[in-house]
Structure 1
Amino acid sequence: MSQITMIEGADRGAIVAALRGLLAAPGAITIPGGSTPFPILSALIDEGAVDWRDREIWPNDDRIVPEDHDASNTGKIRALLEPAGARIVTLAEHADVPHFAVAWLGMGPDGHIASLFPNTDPSANDPQSVRRLTPDPLPAHAPFDRITLTIPALVNTDALVFTMGGADDKRAVFEAAMAGQNDLPVARLLRAARARGVPVTVFA
């Protein structure tokens, strides 16, 4: 059975410290886009406590746009982590996705994780590790098709970490998912993690 650890009111320093420990072990990691991870990653780079050299970094997901587009997760991740020596992977269908040392995720208020929105009906038994899909409705701030890791790829990890930015609406959705009170993508992911015995840390 997986263990879920909720860390209340964690500031950036606490999240940086936790990730520093998780990233001490070698191995590929997958990280989210959005505004939350980049200041945390910048702090980890600045303190020099993580060896990024030749480490594979996989985006959880991306918009189908060129990497130099403002909406590209991969482009932003590459600009930040490639100078530190990391190898940034561009998501592609039929990619050979590795086992991750850490899968770091965010979550939307609708319970989506990566680009697995409720309308995409993600499955814990998806035979593919990467899928191209279209959210419905398309988010107004990023109206693009997506490419995303699937639930089996995301739970093929030694540890799952969620950062939710302290939003109360997100926390309520997450807690309902933990309790089995909804069937949103995050709930499906947590069930799959539980079945695999993957530990989950949540910065709420």
Structure 2
Amino acid sequence: MDNLTIIEGSGDAAIADWLAGRLRDALGAKDGPVTITVPGGSTPFPIIAAMLEHDLDWTRLVVWPGDDRIVPEDHAASNTGRLRDLFEPAGSEVVTLTVMEAVPRFDLAWLGMGADGHIASLFPNTDPRVDESRAILRLTPDPLPPEAPFDRISLTLPSLLASDALVFVIRGDEKRAVLDQAISGQHDLPVARLLKAATQPVTCFT
């Protein structure tokens, strides 16, 4: 994959610096809002907090959750609620995912990945397709993750691919092995389908 860069051993602060640099470039390249999508789970939130310490015009940033659990936004499992707590005090807009939402082209799509190869809430059992006609899906993971046993709402593969750049933050040897196998075409899990279809720059922090 000529469009892929793997950066190993970066801590939260270094990743936050990289993300802030990308956003600075995007803000400087055009007028109006800059739109990103960000993952849930435990990994991104310390990185986001560090990123927000950078001196950027956060009022021009529009943040889309890549996915969320179908729970109220004040629920502890809500990605959207946690994103609001971080971004809204800085002046950024945080979008609530609904299946009727018109999805924009993203300046940056930031993703995580599960050990089963899922991205956003596109789990293997949902058979995500790069030619999916819908931009957002409601779905049920199977098996349900015990730490978050909820139905989901998620951007689809075409929505994630409609971005100027993709970035992954993947931690742990087990996930790194799944990533390496996806890059080399050894499986057809959701992450492999995304990477195979991606033509934009892809950066993976491991």
- TM-score, normalised on structure 1? 0.95
Output the CA distance in 2 between the equivalents of 1:191 and 1:94. 28
Q: Paired residue for 1:140?
A: 146
Q: Paired residue for 1:184?
A: 189
Amino acid at match of 1:8: E
Point out the more displaced range, 147-156 or 15-24: 15-24
Amino acid at match of 2:132: D
Residue of 84, 98, 103 corresponding to 1:78: 84
Q: Paired residue for 1:169?
A: 174
Evaluate the alpha carbon distance shift between residue 102 and residue 137 of structure 1 in structure 2; reply closer, same or farther with a 3 A threshold: same
Q: Paired residue for 2:44?
A: 37
Contact 1:2 1:198 in 2 (8 A): no
Contact 1:160 1:200 in 2 (8 A): yes
Q: Paired residue for 2:8?
A: 8
Amino acid at match of 2:74: D
Contact 2:115 2:175 in 1 (8 A): yes
Output the CA distance in 2 between the equivalents of 1:6 and 1:164. 10
* C-alpha deviation, 1:116, in angstroms: 0.2
* C-alpha deviation, 1:54, in angstroms: 3.5
Q: Paired residue for 1:18?
A: 18
* C-alpha deviation, 1:94, in angstroms: 2.6
Structure 1: 5+ residue runs without aligned partners? Answer: none
Q: Which runs of structure 2 are paired with 1:26-105 in the superposition (5 Å)?
A: 26=27, 27-48=34-55, 50-105=56-111
Contact 1:4 1:199 in 2 (8 A): yes
Task: Provide Cα deviations, 1:100-141, integer angstroms capped at 9, x if missing partner.
Answer: 000000000000000000000000000011000000000111
Secondary structure of 1:23's counterpart equals helix
Evaluate the alpha carbon distance shift between residue 147 and residue 34 of structure 1 in structure 2; reply closer, same or farther with a 3 A threshold: same
Q: Paired residue for 1:113?
A: 119
Task: Provide Cα deviations, 1:76-102, integer angstroms capped at 9, x if missing partner.
Answer: 001110110111100000310000000
Runs of 4 or more above 2 Å deviation: none
Q: Paired residue for 1:122?
A: 128
Across the two proteins, how many residue pairs are aligned to each other? 199
* C-alpha deviation, 1:2, in angstroms: 5.5
Amino acid at match of 1:32: P
Structure 2: 5+ residue runs without aligned partners? Answer: 28-33
Output the CA distance in 2 between the equivalents of 1:16 and 1:149. 23
Q: Paired residue for 1:198?
A: 200
Amino acid at match of 1:20: A
Contact 2:20 2:54 in 1 (8 A): no
Evaluate the alpha carbon distance shift between residue 61 and residue 46 of structure 1 in structure 2; reply closer, same or farther with a 3 A threshold: same
* C-alpha deviation, 1:40, in angstroms: 1.1
Secondary structure of 2:191's counterpart equals helix
- TM-score, normalised on structure 2? 0.94
Contact 1:62 1:73 in 2 (8 A): yes
Q: CA RMSD in A?
A: 1.1
